[in-house]
Structure 1
Amino acid sequence: MEFSAFSKEAAQNASKYDWKNFQNETVKRLFEKISSLGFSAVNDTEKLRLISNLEASLTNMYSTGKVCNIPGESTCLELEPGFKDTGEYWRSWYEVPTFESDVRNLYNELSELYQHLHYYVRQKLRNKYNADVFPATGHLPAHLLGNMWAQQWNNIYDLVIPYPSAGRVNITKAMLDKGYNITYMYQVAEDFFKSIGLQPMPERFWTESMLEKPADRDVVCHASAWDFYNKQDFRIKQCTSITEDQLMTVHHEMGHVIYFLEYMNQPIIFRRGANPGFHEGMADIVTLSFQTPEHLFKLGLVDSVPGPNDTDADINFLLRMALEKVAFLPFGYLIDQWRWSVFKGETTPNKYNQKWWELRCEIQGISPPVNLYRDEEYFDPGAKYHIPGNTPYIRYFVSYILQFMWHKSLCDVAGHTGPLHRCDIYQNRAAGEKLREMLQLGSSKHWSEALFTVTGSRTMSAAPLIEYFQPLLQWLKKQNGNADVSWNKACPQNEPPSSAAIIKISVSLTFISLIFVFLF
C-alpha cells in the first residue's frame, strides 16, 4: 500500500514536466517508467488492499494445501489500469510490440530439438512400462516424467540414460561425504560469484535470510530472493536441504541477489532486470558452468574429468541437461499462452481446464495422468505455484534463451576452446567484468541495449542454445532414425482399457476381496 501511494505521488510529480520531449534519453526513460503505474493506478484504496490480501491468501493456500474450493465464492476484480487486459500489461514490460510473435518464433526454432528428445524419452519409457500405458496419439502421460508438473524430466534420468556403463557420480552423496552443511552451500555459491569479480553477500544477508525451514511454523517454501531497496538488506528465503538440486537452487537465488547488488545505485525505478527474463536468466547462468565436470572436479565433487574422446560421457551429460533445460521450454512457453487467453476473454471460466490440456497436449506433447477427460470440475492450472501466486511465467522461457546467449558470449570472452557445454567461467575476471557491465544497468536502458553489452546483439536468438545441444541433437536423430517424432496436436480421447489392463484390474480386485474375507 505504501509503495502504491508512493508510485502515485511520483507519477503526479512527473506529470508536471514535459518529459516526452526531453533530449536526455536516460532521463526521459526514467520519467516514462515513473508514469507507468500498472495496478497502482487504481484509486480505490480498499480494492488495492483486497488485491494484496488476496495474493497473500492464494499463496498461503498453495503452500499449506489445507483449504478446499468453496462453491459460489468469487473474489475476482475487473481491473483496467490503462491496458486492454492484464496480459497486455505484463507483456508491456518487454517494451516491444511484437513480443508475442517474437517468443513464438523462438519456440519454433527450438521445436526440432524438443521433438527428438520427446520421442527418445517416449521410446525409453514405453520399453519400461509397456506400450498399453501410452496413448496412440504419441503423447507422454504426465505422471511418468518424475515431476509434479512434468515441466522438467531430470528425475527420470536413470531410466533413459544413454550409456549406463559411463555412469554418473552421485553429487548429493559426494556433498554429504564432504561434510556440506546448509551454510556452506551458500558459501560455495558466493565463492563462484566472487571468483569472477562480482560482489560478496552483505553481512545482513547472513543474519536476516531464512535459509532453513523454521521448526515452529508453516512457511511458503518456494525459494525466493528479496531486495528491501535500502542498499543494505538483501535476503533469500529457502527451505534448503543438502542435495544437488538444492545446491543449484542456492546458486539460482543468489544470482538474483547479485543482480540486486550490482544495480542498487540506480534510481529506484531502474532497480530491476532489463526485462523480467533478465533476472531469471542471470539467476541461472552460473549453473551452466557449475554443472560441468570441469567445475565439479574443481570442487572435489567428482574424481576426474572425461577426456575429449569420451563421447559416451558427453552424451550422458548433455541428455541430463536436456531433461532439465530442453524439456522445460514448451512448458515455460505455454503457461502464459493459457493465461493471456484467459485475460483476453478468449478462454471463458467454463473452459479453463479444457484449454489448459489443449495447450499441454498440443505444445508439450503431454497427456493427463489418467485416461479420463479432465472436465471443469478440476482446475489443474492452479496446481502450479505461479498461477495462484499471480506471477507471470513467460519470463522463464525468455530467461533460457538469454542465459545460453550470455553463456556463449562470456565463454568467448574467457577464451574457452572446445564445445560450449564444457565451458566453465569460474575464476575468469574478464567474463565477470563483461557480465557486471550489463547487470549495473538495471532497467535504465532498453533490454536490447543491455543484451548488446554482453552479446553484441540487440535481438534474442535461440542459436546458442541449439549450439550447446547440437552434439546431442545429432545423436538423437541417429537413435530415432527415420521415425516420425511428432505427436497428434489434439488430446487423446478416452480409450477403453486394453484386455491386459482389464485382467490386471480383475486380479487386483479379486486379491482385495480375498484380503477382506480373511480379515473380516
Structure 2
Amino acid sequence: MKVKILCLFLIGLVAVCNAAPLNSNEQEARAFVQRASTKMFNYYDELSREIFEADNNDPAKVMSALETLVKTAKKVVEIVKESKQYDDSKFVDPELKYVFKIIRKSAEEAILGEEKFVELFASMGMLEELASDKDIPAYRNNSVELAFFPDIQDIFAKSQDPEELKYYWTTWRAKNGAWAIGHFVNLVKSLKEAAALTEITPLEFWLHDYNITEMRKVVKQIRPLYNQLHAFIRNRLYQRYGDLVIKPNGPIPHHLFEQVLAQAWTPGSIIDDMYPHKDLPPYDEILKQNDFDTLKMFKMADKFYQSLGFNSIPEEYWGSHFKMNSDEDEGDCKPTIFDMSPNVYMQYCQKMDFRKFLQAHGYMGEVYYAREKVDLPVYYFDAHYLQFPVGEAVVLSASTPKHLSAIGLVTDFKFTEEVKMNRLLRMGIHTLLNMPVYYIHTKVMYDLFAGTVDMTDLNKHYWKLMEKHAGVAPPVDRGDEAYDFPFKFYTELTENKQASKFMTEVLGYQFYEKLCEISEQYSRLDKSEPINNCDFYGNKKAGDALKKMMKLGSSKPMREVLETMFPEDPSVSAESLIEYYAPMKSWLVKMNSEQNVRTGWLHSDKKVSIITYNEEEDEVEE
C-alpha cells in the first residue's frame, strides 16, 4: 500500500478535530510548533518504516502496518487538537500565522472524513487500474484479451498498421469510457467538497504550487519549435500512410500521434530511415555486458550526486532503507519513495534497461532532496515539487555522450554528428510532443474547477484544446456520450500529476542550463560547445548551488526558492529548453522548407459536435 495514500488517510483523521481557538501567546505557540514538528517526524518515520517493511502477500504484516497507522493517527490527532487551542488570527508574526495555516490545511482530500475519503480513494484506484485490466479483445483475435499496459502499449511501440492502432484506440475508450467517467465525476465532486471544507477555492485546492498562466506562457514560447516538429512528423506520416489516413495540412490523428510517441526510441519510428535506431549505441546490451543489475544501476546514479559534493547515503541504507519490492519484472514499474522526513525509504523493482538507468538518476534526486532538508521542521519539508526537475536536470547530464564516455559505460563508439542528431531528434519527439498534452490535461481540470466548462461539454472542450494547442484530432467521429481522455490523464489526478510533469520538463532544462553555466561548460555568449552535451558530473560548484536551494524546502515561496538558482530572473521559462533543441529546430526548418511542408494545421474533419475557437481565447485566466 502506498505511503502517500496512508498518509492522506492519517491526516484525514486529524482534520476532523475542531476545537475553538483560545491562546494567542506567540511564544507558547512557537514552542508548541517545535514540539509538534519533532513528534510528527518521529511518527512519520515509524509509519514509513512499517509500511516499507510490510509485505502485501503477508496478511499479518499488512495488519501490523494498519495498526501502526491507527496508532500514529491517534497521536497526531492530539497534536492537531492542541493546535486548535491557539488563536492564530491574533498573531503578529506573519511566519507563525503561515505555519498554523499549513498545519490546519494539510488534510487534502482526507478532510472529507473516513467514509467519503474511502469512496474517493476507491475511485482513484479504479481509474489507475484502467491500464492494467485485461479487457480488450485482441485485434482480429477475440479469444485473447489485452491490457492497455503493457500489452497495447507494446503494440503501439511496434505496429505500423494504422487500422490496428485505430482499433485499439477506439475499443479501449468504448470499453472504459462509461466506467471512467463515473469515477471521474465522483472524484471531481469530492475535490470540490474537500476544497469547501478547507475554506479555499477548488482551483487553489487542486493547483498546489502550479500556475496556469506560466504554463500557457511556456506553451506559447515553444510553439514555433513545436510547429516545425509537428509539420515534419505529419509529413512523414503522410508519406507512410497516405491521404486516406492523414491529411497533409490537417491535425495528426490521435492514434498516430500516440504511435509516434511510443516509437520515439524504437526501431521503425518515422525517422528510422533518416536516422536509424541501430546507429545509436546498444545501451541495453552495454548494461548487460557490464554486469548491471537494478542495485548497481541505482548505486551508479548515487555516485553522480556524491560527485557533486553531497554527503553520501549510509552504506547500510542499501537493504535497510532501499529494497526491491518484487522478484518479478513488473513492466514499467516505478519506485515508491517514502520521503516524508529526511529518513528516506525506497522500494524499487528489478526491471533494468537503459531507460531505467537514466530514471534512477531522477529518483535518487528525490532521495537527496529529502536528505538535504534535514534541518527543516515538518511544516517546511515540502519542496514545491522541485525535487522532480532537479532529478530531470541530472538525467539530462547523465544521458550525454560526454558523461557516458567519461564513466566508461560507452567505449569504442564514435558519437558522430549524425548520431548526436539521431539522439536529439528522438529526445525532442518524446519531450516536445508531450508538453502541450500535459498543459491540455491541466487546462481541462482548471476550466472544470473554474466553472467555465461543465461535465457535459468536457469531451468537446478536450478536443478543442487538443486541436488548438497540439494539432491533434480524434481518428473517428466522436458522439456526445464519448469521454476520450487517455489513461495518463487520470494518473495521480488528485495530485495534479500532469502539471507536475509539465513543470518538471521546463524547470529541468532551466536547472540544467544553469548548472552547465556554473560548471563553466556552457554559455550563451560562447556557443563553441553545444549545451546538449554538457555534463556537470563531478562539479562541486554545481552541487553547492543545488544544495543551497534544496535546503530551503518550502520555508520560502516557490519564486524565492528559485531565486537562489536564478537570481537575475526566477520566472519559469522555456528559453533553456528551446536553446537545447536549437540544432534540431534548424534541421527541421531546412527539411520542411526543402519539401515545401506547411506548418500549422487546418480544422479537423472529424466531428465532436461543433468545435470553434479563436486565438485570443483563454488569455486572461489566473
TM-score normalised by length of structure 2? 0.69
Counterparts of 1:388 and 1:462, CA distance in 2: 25
**Which of 493, 496, 499 is residue 606 of structure 2 equivalent to?**
493
Q: Please say if 1:172 is aligned against 2:284.
A: yes
Q: Please say if 1:296 is aligned against 2:408.
A: no
Q: Please say if 1:380 is aligned against 2:484.
A: yes
Contact 1:451 1:458 in 2 (8 A): yes
Q: Please say if 1:246 is aligned against 2:366.
A: no
Contact 2:338 2:346 in 1 (8 A): yes
Moved more, 430-439 or 81-90: 81-90
Deviation at 1:4, TM superposition (A): 2.6
Counterparts of 2:229 and 2:124, CA distance in 1: 37
Contact 1:152 1:323 in 2 (8 A): no
What is the one-letter code of the residue matched to 2:467?
C
- In the TM superposition, 1:28-177 aligns within 5 A as 28-37=97-106, 39=108, 42=111, 44-60=113-129, 62-64=131-133, 75=186, 76-77=189-190, 78-79=192-193, 80-82=196-198, 85-94=201-210, 99-145=211-257, 150=261, 153-155=264-266, 158-160=269-271, 162-164=274-276, 167-177=279-289
Q: Secondary structure, in 3 states, of the residue corresponding to 2:495?
A: coil
Deviations along 1:149-170, whole A, 9 cap, x unmatched?
A: x488444784315545993212
Contact 1:63 1:221 in 2 (8 A): no
**Which of 405, 416, 429 is residue 521 of structure 2 equivalent to?**
416
Deviations along 1:51-80, whole A, 9 cap, x unmatched?
A: 334434443454445696569966453512
What is the one-letter code of the residue matched to 2:509?
F
Contact 1:172 1:244 in 2 (8 A): yes
Deviation at 1:411, TM superposition (A): 1.0
Deviation at 1:402, TM superposition (A): 1.0
Identity of aligned residues (%): 23
Q: Secondary structure, in 3 states, of the residue corresponding to 2:244?
A: helix
Q: 2:573 maps to which residue?
A: 461
1:19 and 1:463, CA in 2 relative to 1: closer, same or farther beyond 3 A?
Answer: farther
Q: 1:226 maps to which residue?
A: 337
Q: 2:162 maps to which residue?
A: none
1:111 and 1:209, CA in 2 relative to 1: closer, same or farther beyond 3 A?
Answer: same
Q: 2:440 maps to which residue?
A: 334
Counterparts of 2:179 and 2:541, CA distance in 1: 57
Q: 2:507 maps to which residue?
A: 402
What is the one-letter code of the residue matched to 2:578?
I
Counterparts of 2:114 and 2:93, CA distance in 1: 36
Deviation at 1:261, TM superposition (A): 1.8
1:86 and 1:449, CA in 2 relative to 1: closer, same or farther beyond 3 A?
Answer: same
Q: 1:511 maps to which residue?
A: none
1:455 and 1:206, CA in 2 relative to 1: closer, same or farther beyond 3 A?
Answer: farther
Counterparts of 1:355 and 1:210, CA distance in 2: 44
Moved more, 250-259 or 287-296: 250-259
Counterparts of 1:71 and 1:404, CA distance in 2: 34
- In the TM superposition, 1:198-237 aligns within 5 A as 198-202=310-314, 203-204=316-317, 206-207=319-320, 209=322, 211=324, 213-215=326-328, 222-227=333-338, 229-237=340-348
Moved more, 68-77 or 258-267: 68-77
Contact 2:13 2:113 in 1 (8 A): no
1:40 and 1:475, CA in 2 relative to 1: closer, same or farther beyond 3 A?
Answer: closer
Q: Which runs of 5+ in 2 are unaligned?
A: 1-8, 18-76, 136-174, 523-528, 609-622
Moved more, 244-253 or 432-441: 244-253
Deviation at 1:294, TM superposition (A): 0.5
Deviation at 1:122, TM superposition (A): 1.9
Counterparts of 2:492 and 2:499, CA distance in 1: 16
1:431 and 1:50, CA in 2 relative to 1: closer, same or farther beyond 3 A?
Answer: same
Moved more, 45-54 or 249-258: 45-54
Q: Secondary structure, in 3 states, of the residue corresponding to 2:337?
A: strand
Counterparts of 1:354 and 1:295, CA distance in 2: 46
1:195 and 1:452, CA in 2 relative to 1: closer, same or farther beyond 3 A?
Answer: same
Contact 2:221 2:574 in 1 (8 A): yes
What is the one-letter code of the residue matched to 1:383?
F
Deviation at 1:270, TM superposition (A): 1.6
Counterparts of 2:486 and 2:421, CA distance in 1: 36
Counterparts of 1:72 and 1:424, CA distance in 2: 45
Counterparts of 2:503 and 2:521, CA distance in 1: 25
Deviation at 1:47, TM superposition (A): 2.1
Contact 1:62 1:385 in 2 (8 A): no
Q: 2:462 maps to which residue?
A: 356
1:173 and 1:415, CA in 2 relative to 1: closer, same or farther beyond 3 A?
Answer: same
What is the one-letter code of the residue matched to 2:501?
Y
Q: 1:272 maps to which residue?
A: 382
Counterparts of 2:372 and 2:181, CA distance in 1: 48
Moved more, 297-306 or 185-194: 297-306
Q: Secondary structure, in 3 states, of the residue corresponding to 1:384?
A: helix
1:133 and 1:404, CA in 2 relative to 1: closer, same or farther beyond 3 A?
Answer: same
Counterparts of 1:416 and 1:347, CA distance in 2: 48
Contact 1:413 1:430 in 2 (8 A): yes
1:165 and 1:340, CA in 2 relative to 1: closer, same or farther beyond 3 A?
Answer: closer
Deviations along 1:291-348, whole A, 9 cap, x unmatched?
A: 11011112333235767xx543432232122122222211121111112223334433
What is the one-letter code of the residue matched to 1:226?
I
Deviation at 1:389, TM superposition (A): 4.9
What is the one-letter code of the residue matched to 2:605?
P
Moved more, 251-260 or 349-358: 349-358
1:432 and 1:2, CA in 2 relative to 1: closer, same or farther beyond 3 A?
Answer: same
Equivalent pairs counted in the alignment come to 479
Counterparts of 2:605 and 2:428, CA distance in 1: 26
Contact 1:331 1:364 in 2 (8 A): yes
Deviations along 1:458-506, whole A, 9 cap, x unmatched?
A: 2112211111112221222122126431113x433269xxxxxxxxxxx
Counterparts of 1:363 and 1:321, CA distance in 2: 20
The CA RMSD measured in Å over matched residues stands at 3.4
1:283 and 1:228, CA in 2 relative to 1: closer, same or farther beyond 3 A?
Answer: closer
Counterparts of 2:339 and 2:398, CA distance in 1: 28
Moved more, 38-47 or 404-413: 38-47
Deviation at 1:36, TM superposition (A): 2.7
Deviations along 1:173-199, whole A, 9 cap, x unmatched?
A: 211222221221111111111111224
Compare relative contact order (CA 8 Å, sep 6+) and give the higher one, 1 or 2.
Answer: 1
What is the one-letter code of the residue matched to 1:223?
K
Contact 1:14 1:34 in 2 (8 A): no
Counterparts of 2:287 and 2:536, CA distance in 1: 22
Counterparts of 1:249 and 1:385, CA distance in 2: 21
Contact 2:549 2:564 in 1 (8 A): yes
Q: 1:390 maps to which residue?
A: 494
Contact 2:181 2:483 in 1 (8 A): no
1:264 and 1:350, CA in 2 relative to 1: closer, same or farther beyond 3 A?
Answer: same
Counterparts of 1:157 and 1:118, CA distance in 2: 18
Q: Please say if 1:319 is aligned against 2:425.
A: yes
Deviation at 1:245, TM superposition (A): 1.6
Deviation at 1:2, TM superposition (A): 2.2
**Which of 576, 589, 596 is residue 477 of structure 1 equivalent to?**
589
Q: 1:501 maps to which residue?
A: none
Q: 1:448 maps to which residue?
A: 559
1:316 and 1:468, CA in 2 relative to 1: closer, same or farther beyond 3 A?
Answer: same
Deviations along 1:337-372, whole A, 9 cap, x unmatched?
A: 11222333443333333332222222112233x3x2
Contact 1:205 1:235 in 2 (8 A): no
Contact 1:58 1:388 in 2 (8 A): no
